Structure 1
Amino acid sequence: MKKTVPALCAAGLAALALAGCNSGGGGGSSNDTAAGPNILFVIMDDVGIDQMKVFGYGGQMFPILPNINAVAHAGVRFRNTWSMPECSPGRAAMFVGRYPLRTGINQAIGPNDLATAHLSPYDVTAPKLLKRAGYESGMFGKFHLGGPENNQAENSMPSVLGWDYFYGWVGGLPGSNDSTAGGYATEGTYMCGFVPGAKQQGGADTGACYQPDGSCKVITSNPLLEDAAGLQCIASGGVFDPETTCGTPTFTPNFNKENAYYVSPLVIIENGETEKVDLADPRARGYRTTIETDAAIEWINARPANKPWMATVSYSAAHTPWQQPPKSLVPLAPSGMSPLDALSCTNGDSDSPLGVRVIQDRMIEAMDTEFGRLLVETGIAKYNDDGSLDYDPKASNTVIVIVGDNGSLATAVKLPFDPSRAKGSAYQTGVWDPLIIAGPQVVQPDREVDHMVNMVDLFQFFGELAGLDAHKEVPHTIDSVGILPYLTDPGQSSLRTINFTMGGLNEQANGGRNGPCVMTTACTVIPTSKSVCEDNLGVYWGAGYTSDLVIPTNPPGAGYATCADVNQALYEDGQPMLSLVPESTVAIRNDRYKLVVNSSVDFDPASGEHKEMATEELFEINQAAPVPLLDTADRNLLPTSDPQLEAIRKDLRAKLDDILASNPPCPGDGNIDRVVNAEDLSNWREIAHDWGLSSVYDFLTPEFRDGKTDNKDEAVIQANLGKTCERTYALY
């Protein structure tokens, strides 16, 4: 079904990406004859620097990434780059150059998060900025910056934020593995989402593969050389009926159920029209990494030669749920290793306790294979006779940028990094990410930069490539500093004196939050739903909690609202309490030291009440390879009697507090121009009339924000009409 993007330029919830309404404010105008370099921006999901041996870390052989490594050796490797602890705030930082305290996106956006925790339609995104220099922008793969829930734009949000073309997944996260394998079995039978080979329980090496159009093909696999027949079937878009031939299936194939990386709710936006593709449509079926790559290749090859472009290939891999990729994409699988279909997709399988780690490695390797194909089929590189990548950065006018969006998930962390302080935390393992840049601008390729860089700096870098000064083009505060000088001058000194990262809770209606998820001995509210908790190998204690697990609730299934509630229940039942993944986690560093401040509301046994618990830690850190100084629990320098260390702590804390206070509230200002005026009233009126639900014009305080845009919000605008709010500032 196709839907035209609504034309609400005044409200900012429609064709802001289109001419006359695309800028979000500020100077500059579109120039269709500009000739800046093309930009290929590749985002890897949940791939921290610990996964990347090209940076000197990893501790193990895998993953093997020959194509990414070839680009890394032809460009610059930034070895001291921070993102945010989770994907949505990290990605928002890249595309608008602003910390979460300004965007309101503090954690991964979930279906219950309000529009105030989505990227604002009034923000100036990278595609809006680049449009002023004549660029076209396309995005392929994971979006996860806003919508479709609680957002007037729904699935059209990529267009509202400035992308000319989108082909991917607006909600971002892959669905759960379909343990019924398309309806063949009962729930919980096939945890990897497909029927494995005959050597595995309930497996088969042959069977009928039915497609949504009714066609069928018998697949018989050689388990030593090929994927299991069941995996081949879902990779082709089908549903597998084991040990049968084509005819009448032994069950009713279910073509309308998501299956992680093989059946996904695709959205296509082109020429202002949004199409939500049915799950039974062949375009929504097949290996997700390949679909993302194919779409990017087709769009890039269709670009006119006289118009620069930015293609964001936002790979879903290697985010959970982990699921085997096609074997053809993993040509360097180690000899003697179990076939892919023999690996477990659950962490507790006694036959394969590390199966999920191996699958995750294979998913990253499959992504590397498809990345290489992307470069070759768009003419940016070519293959040598031995199959290796021949990449010459001066052979095309294209800059390649490769990043990870946040640190690795705990289960996947490579030593010597700390899995207990991984994704979701502001510790090094949670926010230290790879950044690789290659292109004709690079002087003295195959070098490393150890200076501090933040993912917000990419926004200014994209502007630099297009000849635009982002700080002059954008009418509100951005936190970016430059990156281009590091490419052109090998002797460039650091452009930052500090680095910053933060994570927290997103706003939900009436003070709600994600339900508690228990992972071994820790409780977290990071997973956005029960299914996401379980996909990350956790046990969900929120609404719908199964009463036969640990402590029944009354009534059964009511669950617990917070991790503090979980700990209270455990304590009152005489069981050990859990550690809490911080609800708020912030960090700041200088060249040598790092301060981390965490806080959560937890149950206090002494008082029997829920109280805010806060910690402050100071660490000496560095980027030494292969064993860096990390912010592990045993290296905390606080409390200290050393006056020099205390002076460092005070200095970092003062700068941290300055940053956190640098975005004072401006009630009634919905379009982030720091002025409350008639434009805000007009915007509110249109949104309230046409939508009435969650928007950036929902002004009640966060504790009582109700997810509605109504007369209560108009009253806030009227009460502040004519007010000019304090301008914010950035600290580098």
Structure 2
Amino acid sequence: MLSCSGSGGGSSSSSSSGAPNILYVIMDDVGIDQMESFGYGGDTPPSMPNITAIARKGVRFRNTWSMPECSNGRASFFAGRYPFRTNIYQAIGGNDLANSQLTPYDVTVPKLLKNANYESAMFGKFHLAGPDNNQAGYNTPAQLGWDYFYGWIGGLPGSLDSTAGGIAASGTYKCGFVPSSVATSGACYYANSSCKAMSQTSLAQDAAGLQCLDSGGIFVPNQSCGTPPANLNFNEQNAYYVSPLLIIENGQEAVQVPLTDSRARGYRTRIEADAAIKWINGKKDSAKPWMATVSFSSAHTPWQQPPKKLIPVGNVAGADLLDCTNSNDGRVIQNQMTEGLDSEFGRIMIETGLATRGADGSLVYDPKASNTVIVIVGDNGTLGNAVKLPFNAQEAKGTAYQTGVWDPLIVAGPMVAAPDREVDHMVNMVDLFQFFGELAGLDAHALVPRTIDSVGLLPYLTKPDQSSLRTINFTQGGYNIQANGGRNAPCVFSASSCSQVPISKSVCQDNGGVWWGSGYTDPTVIPNSGVGYTSCYAVNQAKYIAGGNSMTAPAPNAQVKINPEKSTAIRNTKYKLIQNYTQTFAPGTTAPNSLVSYELYEINQAAPVPKLDDPSLAISIPYAGEALAAYNDLYAKLQSLLISEPYCPGDGNNDGVVNAEDLSNWQKIYSIATSSNIWSSVYNFMVSGVWNGITSTTDEQTIKQNLGNTCPKTYSIY
């Protein structure tokens, strides 16, 4: 095994095997455009001194792609496989079947590392599988290999509670707490009926209402403690401060912590850090190496102010008066949330003994002082409203354009030669899967019984002159699999564009959109007896009819731009080819027009102004010379890659053959539910192009009809 031994102490001491410990930090919706340490960040970069300190003692990978959204980005690095292999094309929602979740048969990073005797834990956002449409329910983290989990399985914070715990009418408090403009003092009640007086005595303090919320209470402004008011509601989620926590320990059944429990109340980023610190410090005498994944929820929407003590002093004045529903204020709050993430990351480093504080308060990190590797990533690109110039806010998270998939990757540790350097070679987040294996001395390709898309990263750390290990890079987003061909309902942004990326009405609204699906409530939605609309195509069709059968009707019946429903990209060192699939509306049609388009760009990683794939800069057709050669090469490789994982009916465990093991697996799943309520699973097979979401005897017949079949060989292109 690779030995990265050093003279560390405390929780970071070396395991007896010599394999390094791994601290893996995931930032949510923090693309490279936010990162001043990579040469970007625009005019108002978030202050991230602690992460910058690690970057200066490690390697900054400046040309790293992830996938366009949360779940497919996370599945890529935890399973080492592109979306068309896992069927996870976008954020997993409550309607997505087990066919679009990581499965019990996937080899995840913690399962891989068990070959080297690692213990693995995750803190924070999961969003890889379950609880909906999955036979493991809330136990999917354990099923996928984690020994310990402390966080949120669905991943997304709940919506802002504008009633602030039931004390006001809906819509009153835009950020989920009573601001200082309403009250600087009051009574803070807790779920156990206790009460504490809260007050704000200086601008350096949080508003009394936020102090109370952060401590787990509900704030009643301008009152003294007494009999708790009858309208207090301790069972309502409130974005980053009240969340339904889940705990799994040592393979035991998942414990769902109710919202009335103090453990589920408090600032989410701090809860994530506290849990990680406790677990890591508990491993200081362990003979086993460990991997701790701190999967921060920040800075995902809904945007909500962190406690002031987590953000730079110069940014605290007036913070509690910002409006969380205003996009301009939201950009400020998003910065503060990223800064709060950085503060809590720094605390993890200090309180686990992986770093110290200098006399000026700065983080002092010596990568050779412990046998621990630090890896920091973003899971996908930045949400459009928060994108920093010169990156394109219109082509951000949810798309395969650079702003949607270009992410920071920082690696530091005792094996890094010539630290404080940059690597401009192409890297993909799937490569982290192999890298974690490399750290443990494992050959991931040899140990995983299916095609993985990873190439190595370790050579870039140990050899500063290492040439590129990739000739192409790849990213992909689209629709997850839902029963009977279902899709997420449409969400319209700024009355001008429509997307089916948001997984629910609340997520649509939390991101500033108008929900046009079932249960719509916004007055701008063209009413259809409450049924709602199933697609962006249907939105434009309704607008066309309401506008007097006009494609050019003025607002509110103007046609909206339909965002690509599938977005895929491939690149080499100079050129990038994007394939977009969109369904559009045309008069006189009863079904969408399916359009596949290609765009070719010349791109680079120059700082602070990179050459980006802004649609206005697409290379004009017809291509010629070098551009034509690049297009032909990238197009051929893209098509080859997309057909490299042929569907194999009956092979539910994806081991390459349909055999008695598949029948046995099907039977186990089928036997745990009645015939009217069979779990969604990977043993529900596609019939006539769709999955019905029920594991039934029809699926058993599919297995029997294909028994003995060997699946077509899959392959990858690097």
The answer, yes or no, to whether TM exceeds 0.5 is yes
CA-CA distance at 1:634 after TM superposition: 1.0
Question: 1:431 is matched with which residue: 361, 384, 405?
Answer: 405
Deviation at 1:607, TM superposition (A): 4.3
Once residues 336 and 621 of structure 2 are traced to their aligned partners in structure 1, the CA distance between those partners, rounded to angstroms, is 43
Q: Partner residue of 1:378?
A: 352
2:519 aligns with one of 544, 549, 553 = 544
Change (3 A) 1:609 1:153: closer
Separation (CA, whole Å) in 2 of partners of 1:67 and 1:547 = 42
User: Aligned to 1:729, which of 705, 715, 718?
Assistant: 715
Contact kept, 8 Å, 1:508 with 1:707, in 2: the verdict is: yes
Q: Equivalent residue for 1:560?
A: 533
Q: Name the structure 2 match of 1:350.
A: none
Kindly indicate whether residue 252 of structure 2 is the aligned counterpart of residue 288 of structure 1: no
1:711 aligns with 2:697: yes
In the alignment, structure 1 residue 660 sits paired with structure 2 residue 634 = no
One of 295, 298, 301 as aligned partner of 1:320: 301
Asked if 2 retains the 8 angstrom alpha-carbon contact of 1:44 and 1:404, the reply is yes
Deviations 1:623-645 (A, max 9, x none): 00000000001111131242432
Separation of aligned partners in 1, 2:522 and 2:331: 30
Q: 1:607 to 1:512 in 2, by over 3 A?
A: closer
Q: Work out whether residues 35 and 307 of structure 1, in 8 Å CA contact, stay in contact via their aligned partners in 2.
A: no
Read off the aligned partner of 1:299 and give its amino acid letter. W
| Matching of residue 238 in structure 1 with residue 217 in structure 2 | yes
Is contact 1:191-1:345 (8 Å) kept? yes
2:418 & 2:688 partners in 1: Cα distance?
50
Contact 1:511 1:702 in 2 (8 A): no
Q: Distance in 1 between matches of 2:654 and 2:508?
A: 34
Query: Which residue is equivalent to 2:493?
Result: 519
1:461-486 Cα shifts (integer Å, max 9, x gaps): 00000000100011100000000000
Offset of residue 239 of structure 1: 0.5
Q: CA deviation at 1:606?
A: 6.2
Instruction: Quote the residue 1:78 is aligned against.
Output: 61
**How many angstroms apart in 2 are the aligned matches of 1:701 and 1:529?**
27
Query: Aligned ranges for residues 498-517 of structure 1 at < 5 Å?
Result: 498-517=472-491
The 1:611–1:127 alpha-carbon spacing in structure 2 relative to 1, beyond 3 Å, is: same
Alpha-carbon contact 2:203-2:317 (below 8 Å) kept = no
Residue 64 (str. 1) matches residue 47 (str. 2): yes
User: How far has the Cα of 1:688 moved from its partner?
Assistant: 0.5
The one-letter code matched in structure 2 to 1:693 is W
Structure 1 equivalent of residue 670 of structure 2: 688
The 5-angstrom pairing of residues 197-276 of structure 1 reads: 197=180, 199=181, 203-273=182-252, 274-276=254-256
Query: Partner amino acid for 1:635?
Result: L
- Deviation, 1:439, is 0.3
The separation in 2 between residues aligned to 1:628 and 1:548, in whole angstroms, is 41
Q: 1:641 to 1:300 in 2, by over 3 A?
A: closer
Corresponding residue number in structure 1 for 2:685: 699
**Could you tell me how far apart the structure 2 residues matched to 1:547 and 1:385 are?**
54
Task: Give the Cα–Cα distance (whole angstroms) in 2 for the partners of residues 652 and 468 of structure 1.
Answer: 32
Shift of 1:338: 4.6
Inter-partner Cα distance in structure 2 for 1:702 and 1:66? 54
For 2:256, give the aligned amino acid.
Answer: K
The letter of the residue matching 1:721 is L
* Contact 2:516 2:525 survives alignment (8 Å): no
2:132 matches 1:149: yes
Separation in 2, partners of 1:588, 1:275: 42
Match of 2:70 in 1: 87
Note the C-alpha offset of 1:398: 0.3
Separation (CA, whole Å) in 2 of partners of 1:308 and 1:272? 18
Q: CA deviation at 1:223?
A: 4.7
Q: In structure 1, how many angstroms separate the alpha carbons of the residues matched to 2:317 and 2:620?
A: 46
Alignment correspondent of 1:644? 626
**Is 1:491 paired with 2:438?**
no
Q: Tell me if the contact between 1:33 and 1:134 (Cα under 8 Å) persists in the aligned partners.
A: no
Letter in 1 for 2:411: I
Structure 2 counterpart of 1:309, one-letter code = W
Please show how residues 584-623 of structure 1 align to structure 2 within 5 Å: 584-605=566-587, 607=589, 609-623=591-605
Residue type matched to 2:695 in 1?
T
Kept in 1, the 8 Å contact 2:514–2:522? The answer is no
Shift of 1:271: 1.9
In structure 2, what is the equivalent of residue 461 of structure 1? 435
Distance 1:222 1:702, change over 3 A: farther
Offset at residue 703 of structure 1 (A): 4.2
The one-letter code matched in structure 2 to 1:562 is S
Distance across 1 between alignment mates of 2:242 and 2:44: 31
Q: Is the 8 A contact 1:601 1:610 kept in 2?
A: yes
**Is the CA contact (8 Å cut-off) linking 1:194 and 1:234 kept in structure 2?**
yes
Shift of 1:608: 5.8
Query: Is 2:340 the partner of 1:366?
Result: yes
Q: In the alignment, what sits opposite 1:534?
A: 509
Question: Taking every aligned residue pair, what percent have the same amino acid on both sides?
Answer: 62
SS in 2 for 1:333: helix
Quote how far apart the aligned CAs of 1:548 are: 3.0
Residue 450 of structure 2 aligns with which residue? 476
1:35–1:306 contact (8 Å) kept in structure 2: no
Q: Give the partner amino acid of 1:527.
A: P
Query: Which amino acid in the other structure matches residue 499 of structure 2?
Result: T
- Displacement of 1:613 in angstroms is 1.7
**Cα distance 1:641–1:301, how it changes in 2: closer, same or farther (>3 A)?**
closer
- In structure 2, the residue matched to 1:55 is 38
Post-superposition CA distance 1:500-539 (Å, at most 9, x none) = 0000000111111111000111100110000000000100
- Shift of the alpha carbon at 1:339? 1.2
TM-score (norm 2): 0.94
Q: Which amino acid aligns with 1:408?
A: T
Contact 1:64 1:332 in 2 (8 A): no
Instruction: Summarize deviations over 1:402-461 as a string: whole Å, max 9, x none.
Output: 000000000000000000000000000000000000000100000000000000000000
SS of match in other structure, 1:712: helix
- 1:482–1:190 CA distance, 2 compared to 1 (3 A): same
- In 1: Cα distance, 2:314 partner to 2:668 partner: 56
Q: Deviations over 1:310-345 (max 9, x none)?
A: 0000000000000000001113433xx751111110
> Quick one: which amino acid aligns to residue 311 of structure 1?
A
Q: Which residue of 2 aligns with 1:400?
A: 374
CA contact (8 A) 2:32 2:406 kept: yes
Q: 2:415 aligns with which of 405, 428, 441?
A: 441
Q: How many angstroms apart in 2 are the aligned matches of 1:388 and 1:605?
A: 62
Q: Indicate if the aligned counterparts of 2:193 and 2:228 stay in contact, CA closer than 8 A.
A: no
1:730 Cα deviation (Å)?
A: 0.9
Q: 2:660 aligns with which of 662, 668, 678?
A: 678
1:354, distance to aligned residue in structure 2 (A):
1.2
Q: CA RMSD in A?
A: 1.2
Note if contact 1:92-1:98 (Cα within 8 Å) is conserved in structure 2: yes
**Alignment match, 1:117:** 100
C-alpha contact 2:163 2:170 (8 A) present in aligned 1: yes
Give the 3 Å change call, closer, same or farther, for CA 185–703 of structure 1 in structure 2. farther
Query: Counterparts of 1:456 and 1:172 in 2: how far apart (Å)?
Result: 20
Counterpart Cα distance in 2 of 1:657 and 1:637: 20
Alpha-carbon distance in 2 for matches of 1:168, 1:418: 32
Residue of structure 1 equivalent to 2:11: none
Q: What is the aligned counterpart of 1:302 among 282, 288, 291?
A: 282
Q: Partners in 1 of 2:219 and 2:211 — Cα distance?
A: 9
Q: More displaced, 180-189 or 79-88?
A: 180-189
